[in-house]
Amino acid sequence: MSQWKPIAQIAEDVRLGRVTASELVERALKTIEEKQEYGAIIATTAERARERAKAIDEAVKNGQNPGKLAGVPFIAKDNYLVFGAETTAASNMLKGFVAPYQATVVERLEAEGAICVAKANLDAFAHGASTENSDFFVTKNPHDKERVAGGSSGGSAAAVVLDMAPFALGTDTGGSTRQPASYVGCIGYKPTYGLMSRYGIVAMASSTDTVGTFARTVEDAAAVIDVMAGRDPFDGTTIERQPEGYLDLPADVKGKKVGIIKEYMSDGLDPGVKARIEEAAAKLKAAGADVQEVSLPSIKLALAVYYIIVPAEVSSNLSRHDGQRYPFSYQDAKDLDESYMKSRGNGFGKEAKRRIMIGTYVLSSGYYDAYYRKAQIVRTKLINEFNEVFKQVDFLIGPVAPTPAFKIGENDNDPLKMYLVDIMTVAANLVGVPSISVPAGLSDGLPVGLQIMAPQRKDRELLGIAKAAEEILA
Which active-site residues does the annotation give?
A: 77, 152, 176
178 and 451 in contact (C-beta within 8 Å)? yes
The Cα–Cα gap between 354 and 315 comes to: 10
The Cα–Cα gap between 178 and 400 comes to: 7
The Cα–Cα gap between 133 and 136 comes to: 9
Instruction: Please name which of 246, 186, 188 lies closest in space to residue 463, comparing C-alpha atoms.
Output: 246
Cα 161-201-160 angle, rounded to 5 deg? 5
The Cα–Cα gap between 461 and 244 comes to: 11
The Cα–Cα gap between 454 and 303 comes to: 20
The Cα–Cα gap between 386 and 408 comes to: 35
| Element at 219 (helix H, strand E) | helix 218-228
Q: What is the DSSP letter of 80?
A: B
222 and 461 in contact (C-beta within 8 Å)? no
Cβ neighbors of 106 (< 8 A, separation 6 or more) are 76, 80, 81, 82, 116, 169, 200
| Backbone dihedral angles phi then psi of residue 141, each to the nearest 5 degrees | -70, 130
Instruction: Please name which of 267, 204, 192 lies closest in space to residue 461, comparing C-alpha atoms.
Output: 192
Q: What is the pairing mode between strands 435-443 and 187-190?
A: antiparallel
The Cα–Cα gap between 452 and 441 comes to: 15
